[in-house]
Amino acid sequence: MGTTYRVFCDCGFKTTINEGGTRDSFQTYSAFPFWCDRCGLIEVNTRRKIKCPYCKSEEITAYGDESITSEEHGASLADTKVIWSHDSLYEDFDGNSNDDGLEDIEYEIPESNKYSLCPRCRTFRLIFRGMINFD
C-alpha cells in the first residue's frame, strides 16, 4: 500500500511524490522521498541500494530525518549539516538482506507540525500532505 503526497513550500515550489508500493510491486519497488544535495527532492526505491536516481550519489537523506526536518518554519540550511549515508542498506528481490546483521529501516514522512528542507529556497518550509492512498 502506498500514499501520494502533495508537497509544497511558501516559495512556490510544489510537486507530488509517492511513498510505498502497490501490492503487485512492493517486493521490488517501494518509493520514499529523499533529499539529495545536488538534485533536491527525489523519489528513491528503498528496495534496492539507496542512491539518487539522477546523480547516483549515496549521500542522500530520507525526509523525516532530523537533519532536514525542523519545527522552526523558515529556518536556514546554513545552520544544519546534511550528511547521512545509506551505503550499507541493500535488499535483494527476495526481500533478504545481503549484509548480515542489517536492520530494516522504517522511513516516516514528517508530521504535519514539522517543516522540511525545500529544494528551491533551501529553508525549512516544505510541507507534506497526504492526498491519496493506493494499493
Least confident piece of the model among 22-26, 48-52, 102-106: 102-106
Q: Which residue has the cell 501520494?
A: 4
| C-alpha cell belonging to residue 116 | 522540511
> How confident is the model at residue 70, as a pLDDT?
87
- Please state, in angstroms and rounded to a whole number, the distance separating the CA atoms of residues 79 and 90: 31
Residue spans of the domains in the chain: they are 2-134
CA distance 103 to 25: 22
pLDDT > 90? residue 15: yes
> Which of these, 14, 15, 52, lies nearest to 36 by C-alpha position?
52
Half-sphere CA count of 86, side-chain side, radius 13 A: 27
Q: How confident is the model at residue 63 (pLDDT cuts 50, 70, 90)?
A: very high
Alpha-carbon span 4 to 53, nearest angstrom? 19
> Position of cell 500514499?
3
Cα 18 from Cα 40, distance rounded (Å): 16
Q: What pLDDT sits at residue 77?
A: 56
CA 4 from chain center: how many Å?
Answer: 13
Confidence band, pLDDT 50/70/90 cuts, at residue 51 = very high
Predicted TM-score of the model (pTM)? 0.74
Cβ proximity of 1 and 134 under 8 Å:
yes
pLDDT at site 27: 83
More reliable by pLDDT, 53 or 114: 53
